[in-house]
Amino acid sequence: MSLINPQQFITFCEELYTTPNNQRRKELIEILPISLEKKEDLSDYLSLLLQTDNVYAQQYIISLILNSFKLSPSTFLSCSNDIQTTLLKVIQKSTTQGFIARSCYNLFSITVVYSWKTPDNSEIFLTTIRALVNSLKPMLINIAVHLIFCVLDGAQSNFSKMNLEKNQISTIKTTVIFELMKLLISLIKSIQLIPNNEDLIKTILNSLNSGIGLCHSWHYDEEYVNWIHLPEKIYVVVQDEEFYQKLIEIYGVFASTTTSSVVMELLFVLASLRQISVPNAMSKQRAVELLSLFIQSVIDKEIGLYTNENFVLTCRFLMKFRTTQLTGSTTTTEWLKSVSRFTIKVFQSNNMVCISNMLSFWMKYTLSMFRYPEKAQKWNIIINEICQVFIQSMIAKEEYYFIHDPSEDPLLSEEQIQLIYETYGPIARYSYESFYRYIKSIFNKTIQEFASLCSTPLTEQGNLKKNIISSQLAFIIEMVVGVLKAKLIMATDTLSITLDTSISNIIFPFVIQYNQYVQRAGYIKDIKEMESSGDFRLQKACINFMTVFRTTLIAKNSVSSLSQMEVERIATTEDFLKFYLEMVSTILSEWRHSVVIITKCLELFTVISSSSLFNYQLFKFEMVRNMVSQNHISLLSNFKGTPKQLKKIHFELYRTLGTILFNCRLSIYLPLFLKQFIPIIEQIQLYIKQPNSNFDTSIIFTLFTDLRSVIITSKECETVPMCLYDFLIVHIFPLITPLISLLQRTPILLIPLLRLLGDIASSKNFQENFPIESPNCMRIFKGITMATASLCASFIQNSNKTYQNPYLECFKPICLCLRAMSECFKCNLVNFAIFQIYQDNSVVETLNVVLDTALRIPFNALEEYPKIVKGVYSFIDSLSLICNSNVLIFTEKELLNILQLVINGMKMKNGDIILNCSHFLNGLLDSIYSSIKRRNFGIDKLVQFCSNSFEPILWISFDNILNDFDIWALSRPIQLIFLLRPNSFDTLMLALTKKIKSPIKQQSFLNYSSTLKNSIDPIYNDVTQERFEESLRQFVQCVKQLFD
């Protein structure tokens, strides 16, 4: 749209930005142009931008050009130099407002980056920048630096929209970015360190930071790396000693201002550079020395250190040092003492991020000392002090937070405790003897205070004190847990095993006593903010200790080379189980409101039940026998919480009980365990006969969820008692079909039922260990398939129904049906032969119904819901097993629909989906090829109506492998199509040749294709297939470069 009357345009722009009338604003938006369609219209607006001083008109014109450029960059790219020249003139005008200048910089940077597609334009930009800098005029230098900053800062987002090739990116890095970085470093070296230049210095430093980040992100655009990688050419410019020295000097001059943080941030980035030896660059060792000296001077002189940003950056900086650097010549005793003094101040702060960073630093340092023991002796005192000060400071924090605001305590976070485990444990193990003595001293002292408080009636003040002491004890125990866990990543010797035993013997008796105290104190009520209470944290710490104490027992039992005299006495496995089971009993009754405590307790119980060291002893304990045979249903009535919380507890409890039953010689109790479900099943049977609106349907959800937990536990067991499957056949399968018809409108109850069917079908015992003639196996197979068919048939009948939540009410249940059927196909009955003996066609009919349902799912639903795609194509994959048995089981219509679904799936460019499709194609085509060889009746007709799908499958397959998809999966169906339709090879190659423009390249392609054709052996077996796969791989490598 050409420019209307300039004065009228200015008036409209001013009114647009200032009028409070929304209706008038809408009218103005319709009058004023939103974007330009032709580049010829641009010159009038650029002239007006330069002539007028009206900020509203200037802002609108800049926004108009920016919008036009983004919508159609190719149209206006040739005008980018004119746009940039005008913007520069506007910026230099003395009357230009600050926000207009910023808008000009933004538009300038976008047009510049887009113009870099043409090398000549990048040279024009560099010439402009050099001219501004060489003018030696402060204002023009300022403009040049701001332009560089805007260009580098926004380049990454702009380049992601431009789809540049890697070679273009490489050229830009080694030309434009290289020159800009060189210019910036030259400026920073020569600049005077005076207050008037501070803003300019900050802009230069931020530009350098952006430039380094930009080169790194281009270099590793899809890979996360901890260190910054730069092209060697730019690395030489950046890794410069004079530049480093200048940065340190700038920090000293501007230590009290925000510039110091900008310097620190840039030095942190430089410390993150990968360490390589490059000619003409500063040596790696010298760079580390300068950075180390800088940090030491900052810490010792406290120059700008205690501004919040610099404090955090210093901690990050220290954490960035590599383990190898911490043992070099820079790590002197004085340097380490300086860092230790700073560390103590960090530990005394409330900044957990900084504390974690410093723990990471000391962990790396102590790990390096294991590699260089000759340096360790003189620095042991420092490590000991660090260990003790950390414990002291965190104990003091516990008291502070309980007095002020317990909910703010960072140690309430499980992630924070886990982080401390991982970092503090190796530090403490380095000075293990000292740590042991210190822990023994403070733990015994704290226990005495705790015992004193527990032995007297508590006042409000006394209860607060008890909470503080409990949380301090919890923290000490958690630190011991971290130290014991650290042995898994560190070498162990006789001394460390002895100390593991000694420190465990300090904590274990207290854990027993605390459990007895909870029993005496009685039920821990649902107090407000229970999870921040000292009792809660101490109970959780006790469970964590028992978790790691279990591994100490295993280690002790596995060290046969140590005599009893060498290893201090530790609890036997029987002692451990006895006291642990007492803890379980107490927690399940006294902590019934805490999902976290109960879940952690049951998780450990499951692990113990799975361990060969403990599971053979568990059946000796009456409590365990009672849990599985008498009271697991009544036990559930104790628990309190929301439905979601109770669901989690149910799952963990039944997973634990299942593990006990299948691993602890207690399978004889399985009938008694299952018998406890009978009253619930009888209630459901009554509901099926006489549906009642007052019936508590939650028991249906509970029954199927609990049984599912048991089935999941049995999945990987080699042998599962047959009484479990008898129970399912007699009591559960008769409920399923009638429940499906009742619950179809209640997905929250239907989904657990369908998941149970899928888990039964996917259990290892069902798929592999049942004999093919087993009546139970046949009944389960038929029960699952008939139930899924019943639901699918219902969905087909209601295919025109409108759902409020299509995913939850329709597509998710269908996907669960498909999963159950897919798993059934993997068992020994996949060939359906056993059913055919009895002339039972119900399973084939079931397959047809389920397949029809899968094919009815609309393609837009597949695009919208990724989980549906996964479910449908996993089912398609499993159909390959049926193809291997009897390919003629499918009707013509079904097979054509499946092939269309396969073609659509291969177009999705999703590796997993393509793999699913290739598995099906391989099964189908292999079966067709074998049937042809055997001259099976009806196979010629099958090949004839499948042939129309062969061409698109070949096209998509070759497109995928030419775009780097794995050849292994697609080579088999490709070879089989070539064998089934020999002329398809020539047709495909001729079509691919037409995509190549160059006659020379076309001839090369034909030569490569001729070689590939010769590798197609008419005899299809594993040997010829591997030979063809290798030939296809070589063909793809050769021809990829021929396509334009």
pLDDT digits (tens, 9 = 90+) for 762-805: 877 666 666 655 677 777 877 888 888 888 888 887 777 777 88
DSSP state of 228: B
At residue 441 the predicted structure's pLDDT band, cuts being 50, 70 and 90, is very high
Chain center to CA of 679: 43
pLDDT at 808 over 50: yes
Predicted local distance difference test score (pLDDT) of residue 559: 46
What DSSP string describes 812-829? HHHHHHHHHHHHHTTSTT
pLDDT-derived band at 838 (thresholds 50, 70, 90) equals low
Q: Is residue 86 part of a domain?
A: no
Predicted confidence at residue 782, as pLDDT, reads 78
Q: What is the pLDDT of residues 570-603, one digit of tens each?
A: 567 788 888 888 888 888 888 877 888 888 888 8
pLDDT band at 204 (very low <50, low <70, confident <90, very high): very high
Across 364-378, 450-464, 505-519, which has the greatest mean pLDDT?
505-519
The C-alpha atoms of residue 718 and residue 824 are separated, in whole angstroms, by 18
Q: Each residue of 575-606: b (16+ CB within 10 Å) or e?
A: ebbbbbbbbbebbbebbbbbbbbbbbbbebbb
Domain span at residue 436 reads 375-571
Higher pLDDT, 413 or 898: 898
Query: pLDDT tens for residues 600-646?
Result: 888 888 888 887 777 778 878 888 888 887 777 777 777 777 777 78
Structure confidence at residue 327 (pLDDT): 62
What pTM, to 2 d.p., does this model score? 0.72
CA distance 980 to 949: 12
Using CA atoms, how far residue 699 sits from 631, 677, 1023, in Å, is: 17, 11, 57
Does 554 reside within a domain?
yes
Q: What is the pLDDT of residue 200?
A: 92
Cα–Cα distance, 271 to 255 (Å, whole number): 20
Calpha distance 754→797 (Å, rounded): 19
How does the average pLDDT of the chain come out, rounded? 81
Give the angle subtended at the CA of 615 by the CAs of 614 and 618, to the nearest 5°: 90
pLDDT digits (tens, 9 = 90+) for 1016-1044: 888 888 888 888 888 888 888 888 777 75
Listed as own residue / partner, the contacts of 620-623 with beta carbons closer than 8 Å and 24 or more positions apart are 621/577, 621/578, 621/581, 623/581, 623/584, 623/585
For residue 537, is it within any domain?
yes
pLDDT at 561 over 70: no
Q: Is 390 part of any domain?
A: yes
Tell me, yes or no, whether 723 lies in a domain: no
What total of structural domains would you count in the chain?
A: 1
940 falls within a domain: no
Structure token pair of residue 730: 């007699």
Which tens digit of pLDDT belongs to each residue from 247-294? 989 988 888 888 888 988 888 888 877 766 667 777 777 888 888 888
pLDDT bin (cut points 50, 70, 90) of residue 554 is: low
Query: Residue 329 has what pLDDT?
Result: 53
Distance CA 623, CA 588 (A): 12
Count helices and strands in the chain by DSSP H and E runs: 52, 0
Res. 226 pLDDT band, cuts 50 70 90: low
Percentage of the chain surpassing pLDDT 90?
6
Residue partners of 908: CB distance under 8 A and separation at least 6: 869, 914
| pLDDT (0 to 100) of residue 840 | 60
Cα separation, 236 vs 249, whole angstroms = 21
The residue among 565 and 689 whose pLDDT is bigger is: 689
Q: How confident is the model at residue 221 (pLDDT cuts 50, 70, 90)?
A: very low
The neighbour count for residue 239, using CB atoms within 10 Å, is 22
Give the integer Cα–Cα distance in Å for 510 and 450. Answer: 11
The beta strand positions in 369-488, using DSSP E, are none
Judged by average pLDDT, the poorest of 339-353, 500-514, 553-567, 793-807 is: 553-567
With 70 as the cut, is the pLDDT of residue 373 above it? Answer: no
The per-residue pLDDT for 201 is 93
At residue 333, φ and ψ (nearest 5 deg) are -60, -40
Please compute the mean of the pLDDT values over residues 727-742 and round it to a whole number: 87
Higher pLDDT, 967 or 129: 129
Which helix (H) or strand (E) segment holds residue 589: the answer is helix 573-590
The Cα–Cα gap between 82 and 59 comes to 18
The total of other beta-carbon atoms located within 10 Å of residue 520's CB is 7
Q: Is residue 787 part of a domain?
A: no
Instruction: Supply the pLDDT for residue 372.
Output: 60
Contact between 720 and 714 under an 8 Å Cβ cutoff? The reply is yes
Percent share of the chain, pLDDT over 70: 87
Residue range 148-157: mean pLDDT, rounded: 84
Per DSSP, what are the bridge partners of residue 273?
228
Output the pLDDT for position 218: 53
Which of 203-217, 421-435, 859-873, 1025-1039 has the lowest average pLDDT?
A: 859-873
Q: Give the DSSP per-residue string, 313-332.
A: HHHHHHHHS-TTGGGSTT--
295 vs 839, which has greater pLDDT? 295
CA distance 924 to 646: 46
| pLDDT value at 219 more than 50 | no
Let me know how long the chain is: 1044
Dist. CA 713–CA 707, nearest whole Å? 10
pLDDT digits (tens, 9 = 90+) for 680-722: 999 999 888 888 778 888 888 888 888 888 888 887 666 677 8
Coil, strand or helix at 717: coil
Q: Per the domain annotation, does 806 fall within a domain?
A: no
Q: Are 145 and 91 in contact (CB under 8 A)?
A: no
* Band (532; pLDDT cuts 50, 70, 90): low
Tokens 């999705």 correspond to: 908
CA distance 606 to 587: 15
